[in-house]
Amino acid sequence: MENAFLNADRDTDSVTVSLKGDWVFGNVQDLESALADVDASGASAVTFQCGGLQNIDIAGAWVLFRKSQNFETTGCDTDFRGFKAAHFKFLKNVTQAGGSSIATDHEAAPRVPRQRAQDALESLGKAATSGLQDIGFIAMTILQGITKPSKLAVRETVRQVYQTGVQAIPIISLISFLMGVVVAYQGANQLAKFGADIFVVDLVTISILREMGVIMAAIMVAGRSGSAFAASLGVMKLNEELDALRVMGLNPNQVLVAPRLIGLIIALPLLTVFADLAGLAGGLFLSVTLLDISAVQFIDRAANSADLTTLFVGLVKAPVFAFLIGAVGTLRGLQVTSSAEQLGRLTTTAVVQAIALIIAADAVFTIIFIRLGI
Partner 1 sequence: MEPVVSVRNLVNAFGTFRVHDQLCLEIMPGEIVGIVGGSGTGKSVLMRSILGLRRPQAGDIRVLGHDVYGSGPGPQQYWGVLFQKGALLSALTVRQNVELPIALHSDMPAATRRELAELKVRMTGLPVSALDKYPSELSGGMVKRAALARALAREPRILFLDEPTAGLDPIGATEFDKLVTYLQSSLNLTIVMVTHDVDSLFGICDRVAVLVDKKVVIGTLDELTQSQHPWIHDYFNDPRARRAQQMENTNGREH
Q: Which run of H or E residues covers position 98?
A: helix 85-107
CB of 245 to partner 1, least distance (A): 8
CB of 268 to partner 1, least distance (A): 22
User: Given the complex with partner 1, which of 120 and 244 has the nearer CB atom?
Assistant: 244
Say if CB 234 and CB 333 are below 8 A apart: yes
CB of 233 to partner 1, least distance (A): 11
Say if CB 217 and CB 275 are below 8 A apart: yes
CB of 159 to partner 1, least distance (A): 9
One-letter amino acid at 233 equals L
Say if CB 55 and CB 22 are below 8 A apart: yes
User: Given the complex with partner 1, which of 250 and 273 has the nearer CB atom?
Assistant: 250
User: Given the complex with partner 1, which of 113 and 249 has the nearer CB atom?
Assistant: 249
CB of 212 to partner 1, least distance (A): 34
Say if CB 68 and CB 48 are below 8 A apart: yes
Which positions ≥6 away from 160 have C-beta within 8 Å? 259, 260, 262, 263, 264, 267
3-class SS of residue 17? strand
User: Given the complex with partner 1, which of 164 and 272 has the nearer CB atom?
Assistant: 164
Say if CB 43 and CB 76 are below 8 A apart: yes
User: Given the complex with partner 1, which of 45 and 235 has the nearer CB atom?
Assistant: 235
Say if CB 89 and CB 119 are below 8 A apart: no
- CA dist 61 and 65 (Å) reads 6
Binding site for partner 1 (CB under 8 A): 232, 235-236, 239-241, 243-250
CB of 304 to partner 1, least distance (A): 49
User: Within a 10 A sphere around the Cβ of 204, how many other Cβ atoms?
Assistant: 32
CB of 242 to partner 1, least distance (A): 9
Q: Compute and round to an integer the Cα radius of gyration of the chain.
A: 35
Q: Nearest CA to 5 among 68, 93, 64? A: 64
User: Within a 10 A sphere around the Cβ of 103, how many other Cβ atoms?
Assistant: 10
User: Given the complex with partner 1, which of 109 and 248 has the nearer CB atom?
Assistant: 248
User: Given the complex with partner 1, which of 309 and 337 has the nearer CB atom?
Assistant: 337
